[in-house]
Chain A
Amino acid sequence: MSDPFSRREFLRISGLSGVLAALAACNPLGANPESSTPLPTGSTPAPTALPVRDEADLILHTLRRTTFGPTAQELTDARQLGLEGWIEQQLAPSALDHSDLEQRLADFDTLKLSPTELLGLNQNGLVARELIAAALTRQIFSPAQLYEGMVDFWTNHFNIHAFSQPVLFLKGQDDREVIRPHALGKFPDLLRASAHSPAMLVYLDNARSQQPSPNENYARELLELHSLGVDGGYTHTDIEAVARAFTGWTVGTFRQSAGQAGQFVYRPAWHDEDPKRALGQELPGGKGDGDQVLDILAEHPSTARFIATKLCARFVADVPPGSLVARVADSYLQTGGDVPTMLRTILYSEEFAASAGLKLKRPLEFAVSAIRVTGADGRLDRVFRLYLEALGQSPYGWPGPDGYPDYAAAWTSTSQSLHRWNLALTLTSNLMPGISTQLPGPAYSASELPNVIDELGQALLGTVLPEQPRAILIEFAGSLQGTDLPDGIQLPDLLAGLVLCTPHFQIR
């Protein structure tokens, strides 16, 4: 993948040297690096989960979990619609106005091309950049936020690392024909579509699996990661039989037929026709073996439990309450894996309402939410993408089949803190090339500083900052009052950056 920016250039432009030099010249706090700001005192420890006192709190909590970071406008809309109105609207996304998003997506020339057209284009860097930029554009600008969140969820559940050939030419098709059509549909349809997806079959080596020595890679991950879960009650013998069942499920190549190139193909000559026994059922041989395996998996209670657990970990807590997981698994079994029904079970539950503050934004959610709440716009496929890579989460970039981890311990590290701070301060200072923000205007006086900080809180966090961090920012702002900052940077921009640096903005 060709990269328009060198690493050195990235380091240079990510610097805030001008801003910081100016701060040092005028800020008494900067005079002695050893001095620390006096801490406001406060002795009452907050509960582990944040309190949700009323419908407004619940709406904020719900939108933090179901969007890529709620904008002020979305919060206003949701408060008008009420909680149920918002959730139901998000569960029927086709009724929403997508015209602005469609217009933005029209800029991506490669988005709708078939694998053979992409191959013929011979512009791999462009294909990769547009794949990433389209995903980011949808996450930032789509009104169907819960839908895009589920697209991201299933993209990770059926993870395919896109940036090697020929998967690069196949992942877009997988997104269009597997993930997006079923993201709010029925899980069994998604499972079957994924098993027929050329990108998946290539990525997990099934495309080359033939009798008499089948490749076990897809079979193993199908059971372990896509359906039953690692403790779902299968044996190595089952994996071997499932691998044999899927022999011959492959992808057409140019050599065989231009029309089938990059499409699903069943090749009988590669299939192990002998009868087999998998997961307690006899498989007679033929393409139907794989279909039968998928039926078994789709109806299996272990699949219901595994999907329920992952959904609850996504929306509620890293280790979700067992009571809720059981009810979501019931929803799966009663409705044939209907995703909206499972989501309703979660989002209308007491366990969900009691879970505020328990989920950490992953890097992508952090970065996308920073773009959304600052009203930023511009090129997402260049410098912004490099920040995502520094943070360790760029779309389609996780190498393994298990998808990006969805628990806080994987994303709390020194590297995370540093790169999140750098992204926040660079973005709000409008020092990120190709991207500009729309933050509140610069006019204010000393007495208005608390108001400025509260406005920023409302715009960026959906609520004012708690008293202590608010006091720290007021003190910081006061010390810079009346100072000219370089590069046309306005004090509110810098304060906005610090709000995005707070622990409060890292919470989902």
Chain B
Amino acid sequence: MTENLLTRREFLRLAGISAAPLALPGWTPRLAFAPPGTPPSGDLLVCVFLRGGMDGLNAVIPHFESAYYEARSTLAIAEPASGDDTAAVELDDRFSLHPNLRPLLGPFQAGELAIVHACGSPDPTHSHFDAMDFMERGTPGEKQISTGWIARHLLTAPWENDSPFRAVGIGVGLQASLRGPVPAAALRSVADFHLPGDPQGVATLQNTLSSLYQLPAPEESLLAALSSQAGTTLGAIQLLAGLDPDSYRPEGGAAYPDDDYGRGLSQIALLAKAELGLEIACLDVGGWDTHVQQGAQDGQMPQLMASLAQGLAAFHQDMGLRMKDITVVTMSEFGRRVAENGGGGTDHGHGGVMFVMGGGILGGKVYGDWPGLAPESLYGPGDLAITTDFREVLGEIVQKRLGNSRIDEIFPGYRFAGFLSLATERS
């Protein structure tokens, strides 16, 4: 899985975009960004990627399907009617949540959480790495485009935002969806992000580093890529100097899970409330590749689900009224095989589940045509089929909530199928 360093020219050629209107912000020591308090032009999008292939069938259970119970002798979750704590939590007459996802019931019933089932990337690959690449680049089956779909959104959005925190990936490296010509910041934690010392001492060093990284370099070279990142880094250090993550208290009694994912979400909340120009935040949760001992009530996947739901509910609580300007979406590279394997786990599958949460989301509903679990309805080696392309979900969010209509450039080669109508038009 090699990937070329993106060249602007190459990107423009592949994406079919005219070079003329683009003014890529080269970094300058004086950062220009929207004044504090200026509302962003669209929702803040928080993208949670569940890495490894989340088993959508044990997250959002089709309890009306006897085939589900037949295929999963040890993993199946009892239907809601059975009534005890280990039973699924009813959403409607067909679907229910895993009991560990119960914290999502609040946002769901408040009409701010939508679920899309039998959803995913149509490419048939069962490879984690290809499937993740295809999804993050927004180009299933196409390996020639090396930019991410979010990077292309930022590039084509009809507004400018020079903040180094326009797009943030929580973690050491930058998510593939963010890779592209618009600088994005990778941030492990706000607390880490500084060259410690008194402000003037830091400035001395920053000036020298800044000079070292502003030397002329050809546009497409490694040195140019390093310089661009160094510029974003120095700008980010300046902006974060005013934040005090240690004293951050979530609002509304929200409690984030005590893990990397929970800390990541609270960092996003902190950055969002600081009004630094944040438009996009990406966050990863690993561990969903449950080939062995997946667990029905206890074990790897139930633990991950408990954390996932607690985090989303805490974020919803913490952001409160701000949720009217926020959309959160979860995705995973694929779902898992309908039938469990001999080791109490599930192998790589196809269709899965997306959660979409926000004030502009028409929640309280499970979207998507249900393909069924009958043998003739399954995909490939026995997988849930896909009836909703993930780009249909993201495309609606981009157009209605993020205010960018250039969907052909964000998802090149995709014929947008029309709205699922899971979001309202941002006013």
Binding site for B on A (CB under 8 A): 11, 14-17, 19-24, 27, 29-37, 39-40, 42-48, 205, 208-217, 220, 224, 230, 236, 239-240, 309, 313, 318-320, 357-360, 390-392, 399-400, 402, 405-419, 421-422, 425, 468-469, 472-473, 476, 498, 501-503, 506-507
Partner of A472, one of B173, B199, B211: B211
A507→B201 CA distance, assembly (Å): 28
Report yes or no: B126 in contact with A220, Cβ–Cβ below 8 A.
yes
Q: How far is the CB of A408 from chain B (nearest CB, A)?
A: 5
A55→B290 CA distance, assembly (Å): 53
Q: How far is the CB of B217 from chain A (nearest CB, A)?
A: 7
Report yes or no: B229 in contact with A416, Cβ–Cβ below 8 A.
yes
Q: Known contacts A23-B204, A413-B229, A472-B212; is A17 also within 8 Å of B196 by CB? A: yes
Report yes or no: A21 in contact with B198, Cβ–Cβ below 8 A.
yes
Given contacts A22-B201, A217-B347, A239-B126, 6 further A-B contacts (CB under 8 A): A17-B196, A21-B201, A37-B210, A399-B286, A415-B173, A418-B195
Report yes or no: B29 in contact with A418, Cβ–Cβ below 8 A.
no
A34→B194 CA distance, assembly (Å): 17
List residues of chain A with CB within 8 A of the CB of B179.
409
List residues of chain B with CB within 8 A of the CB of A43.
216
List residues of chain B with CB within 8 A of the CB of A32.
203
Q: How far is the CB of A383 from chain B (nearest CB, A)?
A: 15
List 11 A–B pairs whose Cβ atoms lie within 8 Å, in order of A's numbering: A24-B199, A46-B223, A215-B292, A216-B291, A220-B127, A358-B222, A409-B5, A412-B225, A425-B195, A472-B211, A472-B212
Report yes or no: B127 in contact with A215, Cβ–Cβ below 8 A.
no
B407 contacts A by Cβ under 8 Å: no
A110→B94 CA distance, assembly (Å): 55
The number of residue pairs between A and B whose CB atoms lie closer than 8 Å in the complex comes to: 262
List residues of chain A with CB within 8 A of the CB of B236.
414
A468→B207 CA distance, assembly (Å): 15
Binds A, one of B181-189, B270-278, B351-359: B181-189
A358→B4 CA distance, assembly (Å): 11
B332 contacts A by Cβ under 8 Å: no
Report yes or no: A413 in contact with B192, Cβ–Cβ below 8 A.
no
List residues of chain B with CB within 8 A of the CB of A224.
127, 129
Partner of B186, one of A30, A408, A413, A476: A413
List residues of chain B with CB within 8 A of the CB of A406.
2
List residues of chain B with CB within 8 A of the CB of A42.
215-216
List residues of chain A with CB within 8 A of the CB of B221.
46, 48, 357
List residues of chain B with CB within 8 A of the CB of A357.
221-223
Partner of B172, one of A216, A391, A400, A425: A391
Q: How far is the CB of B30 from chain A (nearest CB, A)?
A: 7
Q: How far is the CB of A432 from chain B (nearest CB, A)?
A: 14
Report yes or no: B229 in contact with A215, Cβ–Cβ below 8 A.
no
Against A, the Cβ 8 Å flags (1 = close, 0 = not) of B373-399 are 000000011000000000000000000
Binds A, one of B113-121, B248-256, B302-310, B338-346: B338-346
List residues of chain A with CB within 8 A of the CB of B226.
360, 412, 417, 503, 506
Closest B residue to A422 by beta carbon equals B195
Q: Which of A35, A48, A211, A213 has the most CB of B within 10 A?
A: A48
B243 contacts A by Cβ under 8 Å: no
Closest A residue to B223 by beta carbon equals A503
Q: How far is the CB of A205 from chain B (nearest CB, A)?
A: 5
Report yes or no: B216 in contact with A45, Cβ–Cβ below 8 A.
yes
A414→B237 CA distance, assembly (Å): 10
Partner of A409, one of B3, B171, B188, B195: B3
Closest B residue to A360 by beta carbon equals B222
Q: How far is the CB of B8 from chain A (nearest CB, A)?
A: 14
Q: Which of B125, B211, B342, B380 has the most CB of A within 10 A?
A: B211
B72 contacts A by Cβ under 8 Å: no
List residues of chain B with CB within 8 A of the CB of A414.
164, 185-187, 193, 229, 232-233, 236
Q: Known contacts A14-B196, A408-B222; is A416 also within 8 Å of B186 by CB? A: yes
Q: How far is the CB of A456 from chain B (nearest CB, A)?
A: 14
Partner of A33, one of B128, B193, B199, B345: B199
List residues of chain A with CB within 8 A of the CB of B87.
none
B213 contacts A by Cβ under 8 Å: yes
List residues of chain B with CB within 8 A of the CB of A409.
3-6, 146, 174, 179, 225
Partner of B292, one of A208, A412, A425, A469: A208
Q: How far is the CB of B56 from chain A (nearest CB, A)?
A: 19
Closest B residue to A27 by beta carbon equals B204
B209 contacts A by Cβ under 8 Å: yes
A434→B128 CA distance, assembly (Å): 40
